[in-house]
Amino acid sequence: MSTLRLRGGRLYDPAHGIDGEVCDLGVRDGRIVALHENEPVDREHDVSGMIVMAGGIDLHSHIGGGKVNLARLLLPEDHRPAPRTDNPLELASCGACTPGTLATGYRYAEMGYTAAFEPAMALSNARHAHMEMGDTPILDHGAYVMLGNDELLLEMLAEGGDPALVRDYVGWAINAARAMGVKVVNPGGISAFKFNQRKLDVDEPHVQHRVTPRQVVHALARALTELAVPHPLHIHASNLGVAGNIASTLATIDALEGLRGHLTHVQFHSYGTEGPHKFSSAALALVEAVNAHPNVSIDVGQIIFGQTVTASGDTMTQIRNAALGSPRKWVGADIECDAGCGLVPFRYRDQSYVNALQWVIGLEIFLLANDPWRVVLTTDHPNGGPFTSYPHLIRLLMDKSFRDEQLARLHPEVAAHAALREIRRELTLYEIAIMTRAAPARLLGLADRGHLGVGAAADIAVYREDADREYMFRTPEYVFKDGELVARQGRIVATPVGGTHFVEPGFDGAIEQRIARYAEHHHALDFRNAAIGRDELCTCANGGQLLVTPCAVHGTNGT
Amino acid sequence: MSAPAAVFELRLRALPRFRVDLAGVTPLALGALGEAEAGRVAIRHGNEALALGELFEIRRRPANAPALHFEGDLSRFDRLAWEMEDGEIRVDGPVGHYAAARLRGGLVAVAGDAGGFAACEMAGGELAVAGSVGDFAAAALPGSMDGMRGGTLVVRGDAGARFADRMRRGTAFVFGNAGDFFASRLVAGTIALGGRCGAHPGWAMRRGTLVFAGETPAVPATFVETGHDLRVIWTLLARDLARAGGPFTALPDRRVRRFAGDIAVDGKGEWLLPE
């Protein structure tokens, strides 16, 4: 038994409405407990004056799987300038926008994050994703399996889309891939691309299956509701990056018909067509729709200026972006017609009108949204920028003068006209704690993460108060993972193996016959190897804990 | 205000056990330091940091221009003159990989052989290797779009495979033979070869000039003879290349045929084949 006390810290624990209350925090055997004031403990840290939050949770970060690995292969130069660490605990690993698995774990933990979720796991490549995440130290991890462009689901929908059939198929897929949820990427569009369609609007039929993205979104959202999977359908909407795509985004919200949905990297989906460049911010329209639809949550996908790589399952979009790549190279791939994959290196430039406006749109969404519980802080790592820029992003959100300084450096037309100039709001520590911990935990259904209540996992970040919020969030004084000190003043001091989060919704096993039949005719992989067993997952995940989040009883509504 | 220039003589004490990274050990970087200070400069040896003085006996003497003179077998020393801006480095024996890689200016002279990726992505200055170079000399580092972008590379021995892969400016000489895929994916620049080359010379070259002063290679189907009157340009080019000496001395006296290619890509490159 080991006990720990953090004495005198200022707690920000939005899940319990605690906003900067000074109070001690006790930990026993990796869990938060109520310790008596005089109870002797094994270790005690005086954190008076410091800010104590739960460990950060990134619910959308591309950290594992084929696409991430292809990005590393595409950009070996990203691994060249890595500063060599003198920390003997860190094994060699480097990279900025395509960090190696080890560097991913170290860099996240250093800034107080203790969990990250891979949003785009291909069903047929789930093992690879779990292995890479298992190789990522310290962090707990999980992944959403990509559905909605797989031929079998589209076939089912083309046949009329029997909800029970779709539900069981989705349930099987989540179990087989050991996923935490389901993501749909450009619903039906990646498949349509393979039939030579170059765009697919929400109500436009897939040329082969005659299915629309609206149907795909609704069918998946309904299936997840019936399966009572806690994380709502994770939606990468149609027409990513296209001027005027706010219409598709609003239509996608409409397609949910009140069912829960999580619109991811909405910054890339909030563009209008006004102004001299026929490209404008539709942040207000997006935020109004989100405010009006309590069934909808979002993460932002803020862009950060500089070099990165866009990594997406959305082949239809990436083939369009390939010509904009910098450096000009790209790679696309597909496995088993599951979904797709496209990687295009990209350099966001503050003097580019479009990039500058993208930067502004992301911040406008953060600052206009009125319910932080439905807004998660992300850069869609690495698509908008590497996750290591979160402290910078937090400062932009918390510091109006810093934000204005940055805004003034942008393309002059954007700097002069952006609505962002008039937004005075500065997010509070409480709101940041919601967007980076409490809200993602709640959206994922993680009952014992993202908060500091008794019984929660002792994933804790302690920051030394500093007016420069970027510095403060970059170098937490202490970071604990399951009660173990893993980082001290931005330096890794322990590298435990993280756990794997997943869900196990119930489904009617009869569906397996149909999947097996389909796989036999169309897949290279044997159906009998499709599902990942628990033991195998444990091996894939490097022996880390298997963290099952319960789904409510089969057939009931999980909301 | 510039520091007084100095020549450092660095005599290798013993062959190190692991590979050593010499990045940062340049004439300008050491120039401002005293003998003892230079000996404390940290370099990487395998996975650990080591003081320069532990590997080398260091002598400093004032001079007009900054320079480093290495004595000993440096074949385990990589990234000699990495990103060097100016000054002179001389090595009296062989060196490891990435010699003069990303060189921007100054002179690097190696009396022995150099390993892989010599002069890769070099942008200015000169690398002269009296021995041979490994694969990917004057080429691009893995992942980069461009190889050598300027300056001069002189190899008096042989070159390995993929010599000048993706090179886009500058001049390179190989006195001896070159390996397979000589000047593959060349974007621009001038390369003169004194000996013979391996398979697939000029594969997918877009522009640039290859002068085959030695054995005439078989011309692939994706290169075509142009029949241009080359007398003026050849007089100028041949005279310039002849200054390198060796197999290039007689170039001005030889007549030349011109082939364009690789027409499988851009087709604006040229092979000059002296008769």
pLDDT > 80? residue B149: yes
A327 close contact with B: CB closer than 8 A: yes
A75 close contact with B: CB closer than 8 A: yes
Strands B67-71 and B107-110: unpaired
Residues A112/A463, Cβ–Cβ less than 8 Å: yes
Q: What is the Cα–Cα distance from A252 to A256, expressed in whole angstroms?
A: 7
CB pairs under 8 A between A and B: 18
A92 close contact with B: CB closer than 8 A: yes
pLDDT > 60? residue B59: yes
Distance from the B120 Cα atom to the nearest Cα atom in chain A, whole angstroms: 14
Domain B73-274 has CATH 2.160.20.60: yes
Bond preceding residue A476 cis, omega within 30 of 0: no
Residues A279/A243, Cβ–Cβ less than 8 Å: yes
pLDDT > 90? residue A140: yes
pLDDT of residue A452: 98
Among chain A residues, CA nearest to B23: A81
Taking alpha carbons only, the member of A225, B259, B73, B152 closest to residue B138 is B152
Where do runs of H (alpha helix) occur along A203-313? 213-227, 246-255, 283-292
Written as six digits, the tokens of A460 are: 């804790």
pLDDT of residue A554: 45
- Put simply, the answer to whether A328 touches B144 (Cβ < 8 Å) is no
A43 close contact with B: CB closer than 8 A: no
**SS percent in chain A: helix, strand, coil, step 5:** 40, 20, 40
Q: What is the Cα–Cα distance from B18 to B15, expressed in whole angstroms?
A: 9
For all residues of chain A together, what is the average pLDDT? 95
Cβ neighbours of B44 in A, within 8 Å: 84
R_g of chain B, CA atoms, integer Å: 20
Written as six digits, the tokens of A267 are: 């910054």
Q: How large is the ipTM?
A: 0.80
Q: What is the Cα–Cα distance from B104 to B101, expressed in whole angstroms?
A: 9
Percentage of chain B beyond pLDDT 70 is 99
pLDDT tens figures, B180-212: 999 999 999 999 999 999 999 999 999 999 999
Among left, alpha and beta (phi > 0; psi -120 to 50; other), residue A504 is beta
Q: Identity (one letter) of the amino acid at A411? A: H
Cβ neighbours of A77 in B, within 8 Å: 141-144
Residues B10/B60, Cβ–Cβ less than 8 Å: no
CA distances from B186 to A54, A132, B116, B268 (A): 54, 37, 18, 10
Give the 3-state secondary structure of residue A443. Answer: helix
Q: What is the Cα–Cα distance from A335 to B67, expressed in whole angstroms?
A: 56
Q: Identity (one letter) of the amino acid at B200? A: H
Taking alpha carbons only, the member of A293, A248, A296, A290 closest to residue A269 is A248
For B193, phi then psi, to 5°, come to: -115, 130
For B173, phi then psi, to 5°, come to: -120, 135
Taking alpha carbons only, the member of B88, B129, B137 closest to residue B112 is B129
Taking alpha carbons only, the member of A124, A56, A103, A37 closest to residue A438 is A56
Distance from the A73 Cα atom to the nearest Cα atom in chain B, whole angstroms: 8
pLDDT of residue A553: 57
Strands A50-54 and A3-13: parallel
Nearest by CB to B144, from A77, A86, A92: name it.
Answer: A77
Domain spans, chain B: 1-69, 73-274
Among left, alpha and beta (phi > 0; psi -120 to 50; other), residue B227 is left
Distance from the B143 Cα atom to the nearest Cα atom in chain A, whole angstroms: 5
B90 close contact with A: CB closer than 8 A: no
Within 8 A by CB and 6+ apart from A58, the residues are A108, A113, A115, A116, A117, A378, A381, A387, A440
Q: List, as ranges, residues 116-145 from B with C-beta within 8 Å of A.
A: 141-145
Cβ neighbours of A328 in B, within 8 Å: 145
Q: Estimate to the nearest angstrom the gap between the alpha carbon of A284 and the chain centroid.
A: 23
- Put simply, the answer to whether B143 touches A75 (Cβ < 8 Å) is yes
Q: Where are the beta strands (DSSP E) in A79-191?
A: 113-121, 140-146, 181-185
Within 8 A by CB and 6+ apart from B53, the residues are B36, B38, B39, B40
The model's pTM is 0.91
Give the torsion through C-alpha atoms of A72, A77, A79, A82, to 10 deg: -160
Fold entry, domain A54-492: TIM Barrel (3.20.20)
CA distances from B125 to A129, A203, B102 (A): 46, 61, 10
Q: What is the side-by-side order of every strand in the sheet holding B77-78? A: B48-51, B42-45, B20-21, B77-78
- Put simply, the answer to whether A84 touches B44 (Cβ < 8 Å) is yes
Q: Estimate to the nearest angstrom the gap between the alpha carbon of B72 and the chain centroid.
A: 20
A80 close contact with B: CB closer than 8 A: yes
Q: Identity (one letter) of the amino acid at A542? A: N
pLDDT of residue B4: 65
Where do runs of H (alpha helix) occur along A293-382? 315-321, 353-368
Q: Estimate to the nearest angstrom the gap between the alpha carbon of A407 and the chain centroid.
A: 26
Would you say how long chain B is, in residues? 275
pLDDT > 50? residue B1: no
pLDDT tens figures, A216-270: 999 999 999 999 999 999 999 999 999 999 999 999 999 999 999 999 999 999 9
CA-based angle A67:A72:A73, to the nearest 5? 95
Q: Over range B36-65, report the average pLDDT.
A: 94
| Beta-carbon count within 10 A of A404 CB | 12
Among chain A residues, CA nearest to B43: A84
- Put simply, the answer to whether B44 touches A92 (Cβ < 8 Å) is no
Taking alpha carbons only, the member of A493, A484, A475, A478 closest to residue A457 is A484
- Put simply, the answer to whether A84 touches B143 (Cβ < 8 Å) is no
A76 close contact with B: CB closer than 8 A: yes
Cβ neighbours of B142 in A, within 8 Å: 76-77
Cβ neighbours of B145 in A, within 8 Å: 327-329
- Chosen from B144, B168, B187 to mutate, greatest number of chain A CBs within 10 A: B144
pLDDT tens figures, A391-440: 999 999 999 999 999 999 999 999 999 999 999 999 999 999 999 999 99
pLDDT tens figures, A174-229: 999 999 999 999 999 999 999 999 999 999 999 999 999 999 999 999 999 999 99
Q: Identity (one letter) of the amino acid at B192? A: A
Band of pLDDT at residue A82, cut at 50, 70 and 90 = low
Give the torsion through C-alpha atoms of A178, A184, A187, A193, to 10 deg: -70
B44 close contact with A: CB closer than 8 A: yes
pLDDT of residue A80: 85
Helix (H), strand (E) counts: chain B: 4, 17
A535 close contact with B: CB closer than 8 A: no
- Chosen from B19, B21, B117, B145 to mutate, greatest number of chain A CBs within 10 A: B145
Give the 3-state secondary structure of residue B166. Answer: coil
CA distances from B205 to A118, A418, B180, B210 (A): 41, 47, 14, 10
Q: Over range A67-75, report the average pLDDT.
A: 94
Q: Over range B105-116, report the average pLDDT.
A: 98
**SS percent in chain B: helix, strand, coil, step 5:** 10, 30, 55
Residues B177/B158, Cβ–Cβ less than 8 Å: yes
